[in-house]
Chains A and B, each alone.
Chain A
């Protein structure tokens, strides 16, 4: 996804003179082509994330469209005050690009894990939060970030992800897409968690459970209607995200369900409300905290069981 992002950004730099790229000294060789395409419009501000966002805000207030790149916690948590004040309060069209959703930097340890960013960024007024699922969507989301007025946060995985969204499904912020339909339970996933939901749906299918998969390509705008649509299809929803279960996507779905007044039950799968305390790859850590396909399957099975028990009572 990282390469898809930077390749697209380099194309955009050729098409639109306002586009600039900034990094906080991360991304070895990543911006070489960009620098050739757009000399003078790339700056490595050094290991200084507050300045990364502040400089981006200055460029944006002067009419540029800067993309500020770093690893997610370093570009969302560390300079959050600059995001609030310099970017959001002025409406500056800064595009904040974070790489390493969830445990993507697994073995690097908890400083590099991104489990708070969705909560942080969706609470910022006026912030668009884009959550592509695969490289093709990352490219489309990069274009969408430029096309979207005002501040945008673009949440990427890492690199080398497989294509998961069917090529005929367009990327459109605010429009959730059914990847597959199922009448028993809906697995609603956000961004890079989509492959987990698809795998879990397959496992559930093998056990006779018809699980639909609903992909959210953005957290803001949030597709509330899609949640209602899911409840109409099946009154059981499992959210799947590479983020703390609290405050992110699962919370957004819970809010939409509660405010809809429609009957339905919810289980949220994601990172537990603690730092994982283990060393390992993304896959290892996701399994460890029960946020892999088996964990989603188990959550869906338990949810359906509770629903059946309630009906029987």
Chain B
């Protein structure tokens, strides 16, 4: 069969495959942050397979600031061809592996080292500034969690990006409403998020975070101002017993959970 005969997988299909990889990594590594990764699988799938212009001399950039969702990034990079799929599964959080629980720039396709929260937005401003100096039209995307917005450094960078009118920058907020020890609204809420970003001088799109068409439209917005896409997501999305439960920020899956987790994933897919 010639390659042309096989249509490229849609971003929805890629997101489904990413979730399988995320679960596989989590089970093998007995690692945490599964809910955080499942939360952003759709956003990353839309970015990597629909929005990012990567096949050019100065490719668009994606910065994962909420580094604890690294397994989602590795899954996207594996499907995009930057990383080997088997190596991603075997190397994640493994002794002697190359893929830590938080991403490092030394990994192909990973733009920034992350894991200490609140760093990505300022680095994104610096990258976008460099593009302005160079006269490049590339776009820089940075993904933060809504819990991460607790970090004051995020707001320093948000203010500066507006001041500099960095229209070549899009900040995506993974607004799943949950952080380490509970709900964002119960800990330090920053709602109304859209109003806050608007008042900081940003162009804001508030969209359902698992709706690929809505995400693709929002992530394609270009303005004189920097753009903030608030993606309303569900932590643990796709695995019903994890969904919207902050405990899956830290809880890990066992090998004996494998059947239950993958069944849940298949169930969600049928419903969708």
Contact = CB atoms under 8 A, between A and B. Distances in A.
Interface string A37-80: 00011010110101101111111111110100000000000000
Contacts of A43: 129, 164
A61 B119 contact: no
Given A51-B125, A51-B156, A41 B133 contact: yes
A212 to B, nearest CB: 44
B128 A54 contact: no
A70 to B, nearest CB: 14
B220 interface: no
Given A40-B133, A85-B119, A60 B113 contact: no
B129 A85 contact: no
A58 to B, nearest CB: 2
A57 B126 contact: yes
A82 interface: yes
B15 to A, nearest CB: 28
A90 interface: yes
A162 interface: no
A155 B119 CA distance: 24
Interface stretch (B70-78, B104-112, B263-271): B104-112
B193 interface: no
Interface string B113-134: 1111011011111111111111
A223 interface: no
Interface in B145-201: 152-153, 156-157, 159-160, 163-164
Interface residues of B, number: 32
A89 interface: yes
A56 B111 CA distance: 15
A86 interface: yes
A255 interface: no
B153 A85 contact: no
Interface residues of A, number: 29
A46 B157 CA distance: 10
Interface string B245-260: 0000000000000000
A41 B126 CA distance: 11
A39 to B, nearest CB: 10
A32 interface: no
A217 B132 CA distance: 37
Contacts of A62: 126-127, 130-131, 134
Nearest to A61: B127
A14 to B, nearest CB: 15
B122 A85 contact: no
Contact of A64 (B105, B130, B160): B130
A81 interface: yes
Contact of B153 (A54, A61, A66): A54
A90 B112 contact: yes
Interface of A: 20, 40-41, 43, 45-46, 48, 50-51, 53-64, 66, 81-82, 84-86, 89-90
Interface of B: 104-105, 111-116, 118-119, 121-134, 152-153, 156-157, 159-160, 163-164
22 contacts: A40-B132, A40-B133, A43-B129, A46-B160, A48-B153, A50-B152, A54-B125, A55-B126, A55-B129, A55-B157, A55-B160, A57-B123, A57-B126, A58-B128, A60-B126, A62-B126, A62-B130, A66-B126, A81-B119, A82-B153, A85-B114, A86-B113
